[in-house]
Structure 1
Amino acid sequence: MSVATQRQGSSTDQASYNSCANPIQHRPRNYVSYPGSSYILPSDEDEQARLALQHRVLVRALGDRLVVAPITLTPGNHVLDCGTGSGIWLLDLASKVSPDVQLQGIDIEPRLFPTTRPENMQLQVGTATKLPEEWSNKFSLINQRLLIAALKSIEWPVVLKEIHRCLAEGGWVQLLEAKRWGAEGPHSVKHRQLLELLFSSRQLLIDCSVQLPKMLGEAAFQNVHVEEYRLPAGKWAGQEGIDVRDNFINVFRGMKTPILNAGGLGYVNSEEEYDQWMDDMAQEWDETEGTTVDICVCYAQKVPVEA
């Protein structure tokens, strides 16, 4: 596979390049249409299947835990899932807690919402940057996973302050984000360079996992904890590694439209080249023992204000 010569330059140069680049013709998928959204992953049946696999991968990595924060959910508690997607985390949680625990999900795109759900589970369209005013001091636990591809740098502090506002005193937030991924081979290295350029061009925060502890503190959270997990990725690691590979390579396949609409960002010249690159990278992960996807879970508490 030939990869187009990398284009270097400042963020201003990148923005200028992106605005002038001619989109590369390809077969597009459905994406969210929420006003102002920078989300770079699709919203279709294939993505729904991927999200189901991703949920299994992440829960397994966390030792079969849905909740990492030190809280036991009891009747009367309220739980919020920000960026709920297909609602799969809430559906799984509903099977493990009392039906008197109230479950709420919010997402900018309702296309993947489940058609059936338990009576104690509610879903609505909305953005994490402006949660409903009536949710102030309501939730005992707020969960958010993998919004690395959705939130702009300037939006992260806003979202964390909104989460803090909506937590009940003593409540917990848990945030799961990707930290690092891929092999050290040429396909993976070039791909990480491409993603850095893509994220920069969309004002997304690719290193959000590193910055989360500081941002949580700045949003008035206390008792901030970080747990890191390393997920083996590739055929060399058996079925677990195949699942991790399939999920995250399909994440990158899902970013094809924003990349090609930006003219390939200096890395690819056609849809066929991009697809082959993803195939080559998957093979590289299979053949490179030790390849991992690293994630972290940050959890923190809204401590009661002393009188």
Structure 2
Amino acid sequence: MEVSLSKEKGHYLLASDSRETGRLNLQHRLIVKAFEDRLVLAPVGLKSGDRVLESGAGSGIWTLEFLGECSQKNIQLDIECIDISRAQFPSHIPSGVHFSLRSILDVPEEWSGSFTFVHQRLLVAALPRPLWHKALAQIFRVLKPGGWVELVESHAKVRKFVVGPHSKNLALISDRMFGEKDFVGDAEVYLPPVMREMGFVDVHCEGRNIPISRSINDGLDRVQIWYDLWRGFKGSILAGGGYGIVSSEEDYDSLLLGCRDEWNNSMDAYTTYWSIIARKP
């Protein structure tokens, strides 16, 4: 089955607008905080002149922070940022950073063997299972020998946000939607063997649990971030007929409000993010 990745055609499950950009930037803060304030876990040794590729760049928040971090060490990089929608690209782009409308499934031939590091994050709701193989093959192709890739994905198979009847129904919707679209819900299990088969070495994973609770006083409204994520899925869920759980926009809004109440009153809800790291020999 051929699957298009055009966000404009609705195959990407979330929106590409200013509201989603704000949510993604807050989610970025959560993920970085969970990984001990590290933007990169891969043991890549970068030097000035190295090329870095960020796939699924969105607003470019990771690239801009990583560029700043490297600049403080007097490391000047050439960073390519690609995404299948330009709607979230920043208006101000610093020297050394280039944004382009591209998919990781079809990167230029002239990029082969030219990147020291590839960073990709949160394509779990964009790449159906068969297309992961193609994406990883493209990443392997553009990496230099000895270069590293780091994929950061959320765990979507075990639903640890289920803490009541509303969130249980939301999990059922999610499972049915992921199943229908053949998305990978356990990237940390599924991707490493595929990467090894392609020739990657030193493949390993690190996971971090991120609580979904307002009780954590760190300036980040975790419940609201999670709630906004699922509100962003509304169009895709309704287009799928509500997956036997909801039948209208009002039903889904009511379900999400119930979920928010459950998450606000629970200390047990959390989600897990995984960093999957590998090297091209």
User: TM-score w.r.t. structure 2 length?
Assistant: 0.91
Say whether the 8 Å CA contact 1:43–1:111 is kept in structure 2: yes
State the aligned residue count. Answer: 270
Q: Does 1:215 align with 2:215?
A: no
Q: Does 1:73 align with 2:46?
A: yes
Aligned mate of 1:106, from 70, 82, 106 = 82
Say whether the 8 Å CA contact 1:234–1:282 is kept in structure 2: no
- C-alpha displacement of 1:253: 0.8
Summarize the alignment of residues 50-89 of structure 1 with structure 2, pairs less than 5 Å apart.
50-89=23-62
| Cα distance in 2, alignment partners of residues 137 and 282 from structure 1 | 46
User: Any unmatched runs of 5+ in structure 1?
Assistant: 1-30
CA RMSD of aligned residues (A): 1.6
- C-alpha displacement of 1:286: 1.7
Cα-to-partner distance string for 1:40-82 (whole Å, 9 max, x where unaligned): 0001110011111011111111111111101132101111111
Q: Secondary structure at the match of 1:176?
A: strand
Aligned residue number for residue 163 of structure 2: 184
| Cα distance in 1, alignment partners of residues 127 and 224 from structure 2 | 24
Say whether the 8 Å CA contact 1:146–1:176 is kept in structure 2: yes
Cα-to-partner distance string for 1:153-178 (whole Å, 9 max, x where unaligned): 11001101110111111010001111
Q: Does 1:38 align with 2:14?
A: no
| Cα distance in 1, alignment partners of residues 222 and 153 from structure 2 | 15
Say whether the 8 Å CA contact 1:38–1:151 is kept in structure 2: no
- C-alpha displacement of 1:220: 1.1
- C-alpha displacement of 1:275: 1.1
Q: Does 1:159 align with 2:130?
A: no
Once superposed, which parts of structure 1, at least 4 consecutive aligned residues long, lie more than 4 Å away?
Answer: none
Aligned residue number for residue 3 of structure 2: none
Aligned residue number for residue 208 of structure 2: 229
| Cα distance in 2, alignment partners of residues 159 and 173 from structure 1 | 12
* Rg comparison, structure with higher value: 1
- C-alpha displacement of 1:245: 2.4
Summarize the alignment of residues 222-261 of structure 1 with structure 2, pairs less than 5 Å apart.
222-239=201-218, 243-261=221-239
Q: Does 1:140 align with 2:116?
A: yes
User: Any unmatched runs of 5+ in structure 2?
Assistant: 1-5
Say whether the 8 Å CA contact 1:228–1:294 is kept in structure 2: yes
Identity %: 35
Aligned residue number for residue 15 of structure 1: none
